[in-house]
Amino acid sequence: MTEQQSQPLKTDHAKPRPSKLAGRTKSGELCKLLSRRSGATVAQLQSKLDWQPHTIRAAISRLRKAGVTIDLDRSGRSPRYRIVSHGADQ
């Protein structure tokens, strides 16, 4: 008969990353980035918000459902999203 050792299992939990946006929400930062004159690409939003592309597109979709008009410019090398007007501004 083999004897089992009762040692606690080691679990390597990912260390929480410090927020790049101290004191601000990521949704607020998304709106700020999209409100710039040139807008923002998905790659720029990924680097600033640390979100996956599908999360960014879902957040943009939620903004549109909330009444925010968002322009998608596909004329350049990579598509750019830009807020044209907010729901309350119309």
pLDDT digits (tens, 9 = 90+) for 34-43: 999 999 999 9
For the chain, give the percent of residues with pLDDT over 70: 70
Over residues 15-19, the mean pLDDT reads 55
| Domain hosting residue 52, numbered range | 26-89
Q: Which residues pair with 72 in a beta bridge?
A: 81
CATH number at residue 39: 1.10.10.10
The kind and range of the H/E element at 82 are strand 80-85
Number of folded domains in the chain?
1
As a whole number of angstroms, the distance between CA 82 and CA 12 comes to: 40
pLDDT digits (tens, 9 = 90+) for 40-73: 999 999 999 999 999 999 999 999 999 999 999 9
- Residue 4 domain-assigned? no
As a whole number of angstroms, the distance between CA 69 and CA 63 comes to: 8
As a whole number of angstroms, the distance between CA 81 and CA 36 comes to: 10
In this prediction the pTM is 0.69
Closest residue by Cα to residue 45 from 37, 8, 86, 57: 57
